[in-house]
């Protein structure tokens, strides 16, 4: 099949959110898509749309399957089933390949190529070229993580587009990969250290504070900045973890974290707050490319959530990252004073997060964590006790946590499976342990 020819894909997928994700995933293959929400609509489109490929949700009813099989033209089209294919069911013999959920855009693209025996020019070239590229270098210094990503985010699309225009549009994927690899290799720690020094000299602000968390604790540091109503950027790193906090007159405007784990990523909060489903998030992340629109902004533009929903998720994420930072006992910090109208401050978000109540709650959590960690560790495997007796009154969080205790899941696994943050789940496990409902 000529890869330059548009692939016409007819989809029987009722979920509108998944339809959006399918559209974005198949743009790369120059697909023209038509979506049907019902079997009659789908059968009508078979004649008007004339597809090259069918994508069909496995949740289709037995009556729907029968209606498809009664359509004379249906069996001649290559078909991909989205979901689990029923075992030993002759009525699904028409399925060429099945794609189980959750799946990535690359898996979908590969299955489409396999079914249609399609190979793009990028694929023909990338195999031989990629083997010539050495593995990417490992950059260790956490101070330069953000600077490196900001530079790549700025330069990658501009350089890629320029090269694609001048070299060959059909090799856009390969050129993009080469550009990203080259930028990351060029921006090593030593280069960025020199670059950072030049930036510091050029900035209008002044570094007024630098120190060690063993000398002054994170809560004391934030309390001092809050009381003095300072404006600027507070940077704290502990090992590979790093947090950057923008403050205006002692009030938090924005918090950016690195290497804090999946539980602190924006997507986790969007799922836990009910704005996205997990498989929708996986789909979206597999398609989203840095260097283009920011993750949250793109979700708003696509209609997945409102600006108000995004702001609430940012606020929750920022609060939890600050709570986590308050627990760091080892690390280094620096505070760069900037005026509220400095460009860096103007580009920051406007969360208006006050530190006083946050510090009170953060200190309470530190005390609670000390009690929890005496009894519960991430590697422990809790088990339910007294299954025969009635369970006392538990709140929704405690019931959800209790349901994840099965004698096989470790505490770390339970934390990963839960939609709630680590502190809430650990507190629930501690209460279940005290109430005699579980043992570790």
Phi/psi at 99 (5° precision): -120, 110
Under the banding of pLDDT at 50, 70 and 90, the label for residue 346 is: confident
The DSSP code for 84 is: P
- Long-range Cβ contacts of 386-392 (<8 Å, 24+ apart): 386/436, 386/437, 391/437, 392/435, 392/437
Q: Measuring CA to CA, which residue among 409, 404, 415 is closest to residue 437?
A: 404
pLDDT for 243: 92
For residue 28, pLDDT beyond 90? no
pTM: 0.54
Torsion angle (degrees, nearest 10) of CA 254, 258, 263, 265: 50
As a whole number of angstroms, the distance between CA 210 and CA 158 comes to 36
- Extract the tokens encoding 9: 């894909």
Q: How many helices (H) and strands (E) does the chain have?
A: 18, 12
Strands lying side by side in the sheet with 251-258: 206-212, 332-337, 232-238, 241-248, 251-258
Under the banding of pLDDT at 50, 70 and 90, the label for residue 292 is: very low
For residue 133, pLDDT beyond 60? no
Burial 88-122 (b: 16+ CB within 10 A, else e): eeeebebbeebbeeebebeebbebbbebbebebbb
Under the banding of pLDDT at 50, 70 and 90, the label for residue 203 is: low
Tens-digit pLDDT profile for residues 229-269: 888 889 998 888 899 999 988 899 989 888 888 788 888 88
- Extract the tokens encoding 118: 């399609």
Tens-digit pLDDT profile for residues 351-385: 888 988 899 898 898 888 889 888 988 888 999 88
Q: How far is CA 284 from CA 36, 232, 276, in A?
A: 21, 34, 10
Query: Which fold is adopted by the domain 7-119?
Result: Rossmann fold (3.40.50)
pLDDT for 6: 63
Tens-digit pLDDT profile for residues 80-132: 988 876 666 777 888 888 888 777 777 888 888 888 764 343 443 344 444 45
Q: Is the CB of residue 94 less than 8 Å from the CB of residue 86?
A: no
Q: Is the CB of residue 216 less than 8 Å from the CB of residue 332?
A: no
Q: Could you give the count of Cα atoms lying within 13 Å of 141 in the half-sphere of its Cβ?
A: 12
| pLDDT winner (highest mean) among 15-19, 84-88, 215-219 | 215-219
Tens-digit pLDDT profile for residues 145-170: 777 777 776 777 677 667 766 665 55
């Amino acid at each position: 099949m000529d890869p330059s020819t548009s692939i016409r894909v007819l989809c029987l997928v009722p979920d509108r959110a998944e339809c959006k994700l399918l559209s974005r995933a198949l743009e790369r293959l120059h697909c023209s898509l038509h979506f049907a929400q019902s079997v009659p609509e789908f059968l009508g489109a078979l004649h008007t749309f004339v597809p090259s490929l069918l994508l069909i949700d496995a949740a289709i009813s037995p009556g729907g399957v029968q209606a498809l099989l009664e359509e004379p033209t249906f069996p001649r089209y290559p078909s991909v089933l989205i979901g689990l294919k029923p075992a030993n069911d002759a009525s699904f013999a028409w399925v060429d390949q099945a794609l189980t959920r959750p799946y990535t855009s690359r898996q979908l693209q590969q299955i489409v190529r396999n079914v249609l025996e399609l190979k793009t020019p990028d694929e023909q070239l990338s195999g031989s070229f990629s083997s010539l590229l050495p593995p990417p270098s490992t950059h260790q210094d956490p101070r330069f993580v953000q600077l490196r990503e900001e530079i790549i985010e700025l330069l990658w699309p501009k350089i890629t587009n320029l090269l694609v225009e001048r070299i060959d549009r059909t090799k856009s994927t390969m050129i993009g990969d080469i550009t990203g690899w080259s930028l990351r290799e060029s921006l090593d720690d030593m280069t960025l250290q020199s670059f950072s020094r030049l930036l510091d000299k050029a900035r209008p602000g002044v570094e007024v504070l630098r120190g060690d968390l063993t000398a002054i604790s994170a809560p004391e540091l934030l309390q001092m900045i809050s009381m003095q109503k300072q404006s600027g950027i507070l940077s704290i790193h502990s090992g590979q973890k790093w947090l950057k906090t923008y403050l205006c007159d002692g009030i938090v405007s924005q918090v950016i974290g690195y290497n804090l784990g999946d539980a602190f990523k924006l997507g986790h909060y969007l799922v836990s707050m009910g704005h996205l489903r997990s498989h929708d998030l996986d789909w979206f992340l597999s398609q989203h490319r840095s260097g283009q629109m920011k993750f949250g902004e793109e979700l708003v533009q696509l209609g997945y959530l409102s600006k108000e929903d995004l702001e609430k998720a940012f606020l929750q994420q920022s609060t939890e990252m600050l709570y986590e930072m308050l627990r760091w006992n080892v690390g280094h910090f620096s505070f760069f004073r900037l005026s509220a109208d400095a460009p860096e401050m103007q580009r920051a978000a406007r969360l208006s997060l006050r530190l006083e109540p946050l510090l009170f709650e953060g200190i309470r959590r530190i005390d609670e964590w000390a009690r929890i960690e005496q009894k519960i560790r991430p590697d422990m495997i809790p088990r339910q006790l007294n299954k025969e007796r009635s369970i006392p009154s538990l709140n929704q969080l405690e019931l959800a946590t209790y349901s994840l205790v099965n004698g096989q899941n470790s505490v770390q696994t339970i934390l990963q499976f839960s939609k709630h943050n680590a502190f809430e789940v650990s507190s629930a496990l501690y209460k279940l342990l005290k109430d005699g409902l579980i043992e570790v």
